[in-house]
Amino acid sequence: MFRKVETGTGGDDISPPAESPPLEDLDDYGDYGRAGSRTWLWTLLAALAVVLLMVYMLVLGAVGIYQGLKDRTIESNRIAQEHYALGLSHLETGDYELAIAEFDLALRHNPNLREARTKLQEAKKLAKLQATPTSETRQDAANLLYEQAVADYESGNLAQAVAVLDELHGLDPDHQRENVTLMLTTAHYRLGLDAVTEDRLDEATAHFEVVLALKPGDANAQDQLNLIHLYKAALSFWERDWSATIQALKGLYALAPEYQDVRTRLSDAYAYRGQGYADKGDWCRAADDYAAAVEILPLETTVDTRDDALMRCQATAEAPPPTPTARATARPTAVDTVSPSATPALTGTREAEASQAGEPTPTRTASAVGGGRIAFTSFDALKQRYDVYVVDLTEGQAKLLQENASQPAFSPGGRWLAFRNVDPQHLGIGILDLQSQELSEVTIHPEDSAPVWSPDASQIVFASNKHGDRKWRLYVISPGEVRGEGQQWAFGQTPAWSPDGTQLAYHGCDERGDNCAVWVMLAGGFNPRRLTGDASDTVPAWSPDGTRVAFISARTGNWELYLVDVASGQETRLTNHPAADVAPVWSPDGKWLALLSSREGGWAVYVLEVETGEVQKVIATGDAYPDALSERLSWVP
């Protein structure tokens, strides 16, 4: 224990301890302070490093998160665009519900895609409009539309009536169906007539076609379409082919003489073609055309031109016969008698000898069928040559008209003979002027065949498979053409012109090559329709009154003659013989049909009385034909 010590100062003093702590202890304490200071420094540095490391890791994480978000946004935008595109596609096709779903998905992936939001609203509106109304709502709407259509119809506002009726039909096809159809057909028909009057033919065609769609077989609408087709055909030929123009306008003029400007155009077309003949010095043809123009429209200038052409024609006729012109491309063949003894009084022995020699041989019954002349082809097997002959039924004499020729066709009146020229130097369609013996080449292809004249002799239709596809086509050409090609009218062969010139019968098929038979079309190649019922039906021939068509058919396994009524389509079989009967042609009076047949062993011309079915032999034609189906007969008064 410590003891209290008193000092001289009188105060209480604290005495130092007896022993002081060693100094080295104080040194050790100083080292401890320095070591602690260094430890805290290192600790601080370590902590700072840790913090920096954590900050670095946080920065790296943030960068990764940002990049991931960025990639995710890009992917979302891509998916949104895909759904948006699908939505547009559905919107265009009217699938509004699907469009709404796709636009919704697009917005889920990209809420900021404004285009998708706009289209979504549009799709919802359209879907709402498309929503099926209740039966009561539909009925009310249909009633209102019907009342409006009736009001427009009765007030003469036909175009508006058609628009409302179309809307009504779309809403409820069965609402007042009969009345709606009646108003639509009537309105379209009247609108079509108005369009024709205003020379809007394409619009008129559309209206008449709607009428036929609503009421198939409507005769009035079909007639109007036929008139339009004929008129447009005439315009397509105008200034390019006056004969084709005249043919189209003639058919139109016969059906509707006051249609458009057909009267003026037909008169002008005749005058223009007449001028063409006059320019060539063919004054008789020119006079005929000018006379036709005057008959249609008697203009003073045309009358004067006609009279001048007539005088020049008469002067030409009184002059000596002209020598062949540059158009004569083959040697004319003189008309002579086949044999001095080829008369109706031939004996049976002489007939047999002539037949064996390949010559046409008349029979005793040649004059029994009345008058007229029949042209036919004789084939000489020894010479391998076709020649065209004519037999006069009142005399029974067969005369040679043209060597190296087949498929004869007299022009109306019998002045010219068209034929298939088989002369190797002059192949194609040829024409022989039976007055001047001038021969002209109209076409040049060996495939050109089966020529037939138009009723006014202004055109010739023929068949040919001259193209590379070897398909048969029908062509029309002017008989005044020189080595021409002709203009294609339709696919088909074996043509026959109707007596009024408005139609052609021919062997043809539909657009797919099916339903082959005898078909009928308007001149120009319009409105083809099937006339008979068997694929083998071919070689049609019009009756002079235009009501019936004779044709041949192998429907029973043998070639026989048949008859079809053009209006009703009723068919009648005319012959029934084991031999082949081909090449029918009508007599000018319509009472007889001439035909080629091998019914007595050799080929011959026969005549058949249509009413009784009686068949008489006229003349043996010579040797057997290599292709009897291609042969033709022609009968003129």
Angstrom distance (rounded) from CA 45 to CA 23: 34
Asked if residue 610 is part of any domain, the answer here is yes
* pTM (2 d.p.): 0.55
What pLDDT was estimated at residue 4? 42
175, 119: one domain: no
Range of the domain at 96: 67-127
* 282 domain residue, yes or no: yes
CATH number at residue 78: 1.25.40.10
Q: Look up the CATH number of the domain holding residue 613.
A: 2.120.10.30
Task: Classify residue 225: in a domain, yes or no.
Answer: no
Q: Judge whether 12 lies within some domain.
A: no
Same domain flag for 371 and 487: yes
Do the domain assignments include residue 14? no
How many structural domains compose the chain?
4
Considering the domain architecture, whether residues 539 and 610 belong to the same structural domain is answered as yes
DSSP-derived letter for residue 471 is: -
Residue with tokens 């080295």: 24
Measured between alpha carbons, how far is 521 from 538 in angstroms, rounded to an integer?
Answer: 15
145 shares a domain with 123:
no
Residue 222 lies inside a defined structural domain of this protein? no
**Strand bridging mode 460-464 / 473-477:** antiparallel
CB 563 within 8 A of CB 590: no
pLDDT of residue 20: 46
363 with 250, same domain: the answer is no
Kindly state whether residues 455 and 589 are assigned to the same domain: yes
- From residue 588, give the alpha-carbon distance in Å to each of 340, 370, 486, 497, 543: 28, 11, 28, 14, 9
Mutual angle of helices 262-279 and 242-255, in 10-degree steps: 150
Domain co-membership, 292 together with 174: no
Q: Are residues 256 and 311 in the same domain?
A: yes
Contact 611, 591 (CB under 8 A): yes
Give pLDDT, residue 503. 92
Last residue of a domain, one of 75, 94, 127: 127
pLDDT beneath 50: ranges in the chain: 1-16, 18-20, 22-32, 321-357, 364, 366-367
* CATH, residue 181: 1.25.40
Regarding whether 343 and 314 lie in a shared domain, the answer is no
> 409 and 276 share a domain?
no
Domain boundary among 127, 155, 170: 127
Residue 109: inside a domain: yes
With H, G, I as helix, E, B as strand and everything else as coil, classify residue 145: helix
Q: Is residue 207 part of a domain?
A: yes
Verify that 313 and 251 share a domain, yes or no.
yes
Same domain, 536 and 423: yes
Domain end among 127, 155, 171: 127
